[in-house]
């Protein structure tokens, strides 16, 4: 897909308006997500998972990072199971909330997820003192599957405000020979006309959702 939206450059005149626009859009996205039934979220998750598994980028990539889903995100369990069935290398996030730092750590099996500790966000992630392999120290990543609150068709992404993925993509560019391909997984209700962005917000390559 073609990425064409121009970033809004921070400055004394528009920074407050930019953050206000992001805040308002986050509230709107949370409202839309809260209106979705559990059955509808599962239905769309299954449809998006099928589209991803059939996607040439997914099929041809070996080292893939995937998020462990919160309740208001596309559910990724089927994707993770498929990755292991195909012999792909699966990496999942470990967030450090005090420093806004994120690593992508390698899983040995889909079943390992059940034994990971729960965070305050009620998602599982590897313990901070665990010995797991970090993607950027062992060959980088081919593909990153991205969460988010909202997306537009230019590849702009509205995160939850912590900057974990934008910072990690910058590290990928600094430490790896090539940038991973990025695919966002979204409910169709998360697609917006335009996501407000700054020059530090990194566009994603593709947004995958159930077509209307």
Q: pLDDT per residue over 122-165, tens digit each?
A: 888 888 776 789 999 988 999 999 999 999 989 999 998 888 99
Number of domains in the chain: 1
What is the model's pTM? 0.89
122 within a domain of the structure (yes/no): yes
Angle value at C-alpha 34, between 31 and 35, nearest 5 degrees: 90
CATH of the domain at 21: 3.40.50.10420
**Is 55 in a helix, a strand, or coil?**
coil
Ordered mean pLDDT values, 10 residues apiece, the chain (212 residues): 39 75 94 97 98 97 97 96 98 85 94 89 80 88 96 93 88 83 97 88 92 65
2 within a domain of the structure (yes/no): no
Strand 89-96 and strand 101-106: the pairing is antiparallel
Give the residue from 38, 68, 29 showing the smallest Cα distance to 157.
Answer: 29
Percent of the chain residues topping a pLDDT of 70: 92
Where in the sequence is the domain holding 47, given as residue range(s)? 15-208
Residue partners of 97: CB distance under 8 A and separation at least 6: 120
37 within a domain of the structure (yes/no): yes
1 within a domain of the structure (yes/no): no
Predicted pLDDT at 58: 98
Using an 8 Å Cβ cutoff, are 197 and 7 in contact? yes
93 within a domain of the structure (yes/no): yes
**Is 26 in a helix, a strand, or coil?**
helix
The helix (run of H) or strand (run of E) holding residue 94 is strand 89-96
Two tokens at 58? 């997914």
CB half-sphere exposure, 202, CA atoms < 13 A: 20
10 within a domain of the structure (yes/no): no
Helices (H), 35-87: 38-53, 56-60, 77-85
Using an 8 Å Cβ cutoff, are 47 and 53 in contact? no
Q: State how far the Cα of 95 lies from the Cα of 87, in Å rounded to an integer.
A: 26
Q: Measured over all CA atoms, what is the biggest interatomic distance in the chain, rounded to whole angstroms? A: 52
Strand order in the sheet with 150-152: 157-158, 150-152, 191-192
201 within a domain of the structure (yes/no): yes
Q: State how far the Cα of 64 lies from the Cα of 69, in Å rounded to an integer.
A: 15
32 within a domain of the structure (yes/no): yes
Q: State how far the Cα of 94 lies from the Cα of 125, in Å rounded to an integer.
A: 6
Strand 191-192 and strand 150-152: the pairing is parallel
Give the residue from 158, 159, 182, 157 showing the smallest Cα distance to 169.
Answer: 182
């Amino acid at each position: 897909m073609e990425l064409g939206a121009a970033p809004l450059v921070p400055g004394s005149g528009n920074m407050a308006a930019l953050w206000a626009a992001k805040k308002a859009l986050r509230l709107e996205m949370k409202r839309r997500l809260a209106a979705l039934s559990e059955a509808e979220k599962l239905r769309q998750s299954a449809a998006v998972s099928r589209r991803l598994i059939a996607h040439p980028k997914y099929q041809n990539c070996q080292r893939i990072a995937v998020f462990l889903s919160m309740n208001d995100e596309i559910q990724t369990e089927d994707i993770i199971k498929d990755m292991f069935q195909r012999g792909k290398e699966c990496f999942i996030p470990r967030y450090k909330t005090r420093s806004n730092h994120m690593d992508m750590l390698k899983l040995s099996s889909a079943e390992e997820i059940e034994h990971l500790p729960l965070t305050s966000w009620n998602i599982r992630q590897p313990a901070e003192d665990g010995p797991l392999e970090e993607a950027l120290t062992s060959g980088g990543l081919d593909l990153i599957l991205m969460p988010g609150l909202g997306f537009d068709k230019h590849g702009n992404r509205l995160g939850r405000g912590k900057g974990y993925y934008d910072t990690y993509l910058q590290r990928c560019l600094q430490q790896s020979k090539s940038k991973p391909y990025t695919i966002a997984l979204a409910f169709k209700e998360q697609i917006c006309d335009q996501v407000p962005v700054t020059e530090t917000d990194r566009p994603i390559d593709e947004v995958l959702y159930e077509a209307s």
